[in-house]
Amino acid sequence: MTTTQQLTTRRFSTRKAFTLVELLVVIAIIGVLVALLLPAVQAAREAARRMSCANSLKNIGLACLNFHDVSNKFPQSVPQWCWEDKTADCLNGASVAENLNDDPPMGCNGQGWIVNILPQLEQQSMFDRIKTELATPAGMASHNPRGRGMGVTSLRDIVSTQLPVITCPSDPSAKPSQEQYYWDQRGAITATTSYKGCVGDTLLSVDAVACSTNVDPPMTDQSGSPDVHGTMSNNGIFQRTSIWSPIRLKMVTDGTSNTFMVGENVVSVDFHSAAYFSDGDWATAGIPLNYLPLNLSVDDFKDGNISKSVRGFKSLHPGGAQFVMADGSVHFIQEDIDTATYRGLATRDSQEVVSLGF
């Protein structure tokens, strides 16, 4: 009797608890399942961020086209120094040096194209404030770093407003920044943009000379039009910080569905990203898509050896970047796109036979 009781008790006691081995096996199985599930969850989150980003691009594209309906031209940036148009000289084979006006005429205020479309993005009050301030004597003057034009101190609250529609959720660095060129000398904080207007496939030469093909890698002197450097007409929808040549829909002879209008940017590698400023809102397809040297420091990026090579289109979405075409459609472009196709899609009137292939 006693033995039976002992046996029963022992049997019950073994049933009440798991052994260490059983527990470890269960934990291991759960661990494996979680390991399989986690990448899927992360991928789903990234897919959601990418869709939100595509939605912003769509809104920006529609705003640009609505602006075109009202003004009969695409949004335009105003340079902070008024450049002279040197296109003819360059076509004649002359070397055209950077031509900065030391005493530019009034009105060269550095206003970026995103300011143009603020009313279409339902930010009429922001637009009205900017318009009022830019009509004052200080607002009409050039040289943003000296606190004029878009750089006037009375506009600082506006230029540091980070609108969600210009912010890609996949880029944590798309937030107000104190590190943007031209603005950082006086410690001004500016909003930054995840979306930049396509100026075509211009190269960015190291000698800052229009018509030059003297470039550093990753650019190559065989892919991309010679540097326009603010003094020549671009072959994209937007101009490189120049006011003097508005682009209209009828000039997009390659077809609006085959021409990039606005594409993506990663703020943390590009300190030319001030959102409402004419030298922060453009990018070129003369640089390979998604050129992203993420392992460099802020000082490396700002040292002038690299700052030009990061002014292409780039995004943190895996495998490519999104663009809104001039017809308002949004497409994801794979980063292994053929160079000639990529350049062809960036130009508006170069008569290449390219299409997205969708």
Interface residues toward another protein, by CB under 8 A: 21, 24-25, 28, 32, 35-36, 39, 81, 95, 97-98, 100, 144-145, 181-185, 206-209, 212, 214-223, 271, 279, 288-294, 296, 302-309, 314, 316, 318-320, 335-340, 342
Q: Which two tokens stand for residue 92?
A: 């004649």
Which one-letter amino acid corresponds to residue 64?
Answer: C
Q: Which is nearer to another protein, 329 or 339 (CB)?
A: 339
Nearer to another protein, 99 or 256 (CB): 99
Peptide linkage before 119 cis (omega within 30 of 0)? no
Q: Provide the terminal-to-terminal Cα distance of the chain, rounded to the nearest Å.
A: 83
C-beta closer to another protein: residue 57 or 337: 337
Nearer of residues 317 and 348 to another protein, judged by Cβ:
317
Distance CA 211, CA 331 (A): 31
State which residue, 256 or 307, has the beta carbon closest to another protein.
307
> Token pair for residue 27?
């934990």
Q: Tokens 């006006």 — which residue?
A: 101
CB of 187 to another protein, least distance (A): 12
283 sits in which H/E element: strand 282-283
Minimum CB distance to another protein, residue 329 (Å)? 22
- Minimum CB distance to another protein smaller for 104 or for 328: 104
Structure tokens at 339: 């160079």
DSSP 256: G
Question: How buried is 283 (Cβ within 10 angstroms: 0-12 exposed, 13-18 middle, 19+ buried)?
Answer: buried
Q: What sections of 72-81 are H helices per DSSP?
A: none
Q: Which is nearer to another protein, 218 or 246 (CB)?
A: 218
Query: What's the CA gap between 293 and 285, in Å, rounded?
Result: 17
**Paired sense of beta strands 195-198 and 282-283, if any:** parallel
Asked if residue 346 lies in contact with residue 198, where contact means CB atoms within 8 angstroms, the answer is: yes
Report in angstroms how near the CB of residue 292 gets to another protein at its nearest: 4
Q: Closest approach of Cβ 165 to another protein, in Å?
A: 24
Shorter beta-carbon distance to another protein: residue 21 or 353: 21
Check: CB of residue 280 under 8 Å from CB of residue 180: yes
Q: Provide, rounded to whole angstroms, the least separation between the CB of residue 117 and another protein.
A: 25
**How near is the Cβ of 139 to another protein at its closest, in Å?**
18
Toward another protein, which CB reaches closer, 70 or 88? 88
For another protein, the closer CB: 85 or 98: 98
What sign has the CA pseudo-torsion 293, 296, 301, 304? negative
What's at 224, amino acid-wise?
A: G
Query: Does residue 238 contact residue 284 with C-beta atoms inside 8 Å?
Result: no
H or E element: which one contains 324?
strand 320-325
Q: How far is the CB of 1 from another protein (least distance, A)?
A: 30
Q: Smallest distance, Å, CB 215 to another protein?
A: 8
35: phi then psi, degrees, rounded to nearest 5: -60, -35
The H-assigned helical ranges of 120-230 are 124-134, 137-140, 156-159
Q: How far is the CB of 246 from another protein (least distance, A)?
A: 25
The CB-of-234 to another protein minimum distance in angstroms stands at 19
